């Protein structure tokens, strides 16, 4: 039996994903009629599926799909993004929602996080940017002497924690619900957050964005961190109160912030983060969904659904992730 799949994203995404999705469906032995929405289609005459015909909907938060109510037959909405805060609250969405957890995305995040943790731990900027001829033989501490805290120890956070642990960093993790990871000190709840921050010489933010996590890094929480700590944010821009972070940077409470995500993207050229000497901006490159591996995850979930197996990475709509 043919499975009708509708793709709702940008035209660029359709051009990237069409071939990879068809390859992934074939590898799973699925007979799929994959079509784009008019917005995704490369030409105005490209055939599409009517909502009443759609078995599965593949989408991105910027795919302009605002009303899910006509999709009565749809068994699942499969997001190509890890973040689903722009989809999950939609009151018309009654179908199961799946977020993207892509092995390549995890690899990219681990590489970005470990790279920047090591950069700040070793003081690489000081040597790279100062080639004045001054000889300053100041050795950094060992990794085992540099505590790192990760807020958000889901799939991405746990992978980063384990990679840093493998480099001998003492790693603390915090999440809203209790977690147990061998070798990682795990905390949860408001009191646990304070405890996790108190030792964080390097703080990594990998929380989902919800009403409970927006502005979670604010003046109060910044003051709980060791003076001179470093913040890395490859998670969500709105996890940080920008004004409070800039104030903490100006005072020296925080010595540096390396930021990959922002409330407005692209980050406006006149934003103070660009000019602040203690801020590094990277343009949302920490972790990118790769079409080949993401397509395999989509195909696997459709296969599971068609065989009555539970969906992978199903979103808890109440929690928002």
Residue 244 to residue 253: CA distance in whole angstroms: 11
The residue written with tokens 């037959």 in the block is 73
Residue 183 to residue 170: CA distance in whole angstroms: 9
Residue of 119, 271, 276, 284 marked active site: 284
Q: Is 303 a catalytic residue?
A: no
Q: Is 127 a catalytic residue?
A: no
Determine how many CB atoms are found less than 10 A away from the CB of residue 90. Answer: 18
Helix (H) or strand (E) holding 128: helix 124-129
Contact (Cβ atoms closer than 8 angstroms) between residue 42 and residue 10: no
Length of the chain in residues, anyone? 321
Contact (Cβ atoms closer than 8 angstroms) between residue 196 and residue 204: no
Strand partners, 151: 174, 205
Number of Cα atoms under 13 Å in the Cβ half of residue 313: 23
If phi > 0 it is left, if psi is from -120 to 50 it is alpha, else beta; for residue 55 that is alpha
Residue of 49, 99, 236, 256 marked active site: 236
Strand partners, 5: 34, 56
If phi > 0 it is left, if psi is from -120 to 50 it is alpha, else beta; for residue 123 that is left
Contact (Cβ atoms closer than 8 angstroms) between residue 261 and residue 284: yes
Find, among 285, 290, 262, 287, the residue nearest to 274 by Cα.
262
Residue 244 to residue 255: CA distance in whole angstroms: 14
| Token pair listed for 94 | 């009654």
Annotated catalytic residues are: 236, 284
């Amino acid at each position: 039996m043919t499975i009708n799949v509708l793709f709702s994203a940008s035209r660029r995404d359709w051009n990237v994903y069409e071939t990879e999705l068809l390859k992934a469906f074939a590898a799973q032995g699925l007979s799929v009629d994959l079509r784009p929405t008019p917005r995704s289609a490369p030409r105005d005459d490209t055939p599409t599926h009517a909502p009443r015909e759609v078995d599965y909907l593949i989408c991105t938060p910027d795919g302009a799909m605002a009303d899910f109510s006509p999709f009565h037959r749809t068994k699942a909405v499969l997001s190509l993004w890890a973040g689903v805060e722009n989809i999950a609250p939609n009151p018309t969405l009654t179908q199961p929602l799946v977020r993207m957890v892509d092995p390549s995305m995890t690899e990219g995040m681990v590489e970005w996080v470990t790279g920047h943790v090591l950069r700040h731990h070793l003081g690489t900027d000081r040597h790279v940017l100062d080639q004045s001829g001054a000889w300053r033989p100041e050795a950094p501490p060992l990794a085992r002497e540099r505590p790192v805290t990760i807020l958000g120890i889901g799939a991405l956070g746990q992978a980063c924690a384990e990679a840093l642990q493998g480099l001998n960093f003492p790693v603390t993790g915090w999440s809203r619900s209790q977690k147990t990871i061998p070798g990682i000190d795990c905390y949860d709840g408001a009191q646990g957050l304070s405890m996790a921050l108190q030792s964080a010489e390097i703080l990594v933010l990998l929380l989902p964005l919800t009403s409970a996590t927006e502005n979670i890094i604010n003046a109060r929480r910044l003051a709980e961190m060791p003076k001179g700590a470093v913040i890395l944010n490859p998670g969500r821009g709105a996890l940080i109160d920008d004004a409070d972070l800039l104030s903490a940077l100006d005072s020296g409470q925080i010595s540096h912030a390396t930021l990959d995500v922002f409330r407005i993207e692209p980050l406006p050229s006149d934003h103070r983060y660009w000019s602040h000497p203690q801020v590094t901006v990277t343009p949302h490159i920490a972790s990118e969904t790769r079409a080949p591996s993401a397509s395999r995850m989509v195909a696997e979930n459709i296969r599971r659904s068609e065989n009555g197996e539970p969906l992978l990475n199903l979103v808890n709509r109440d929690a928002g992730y």
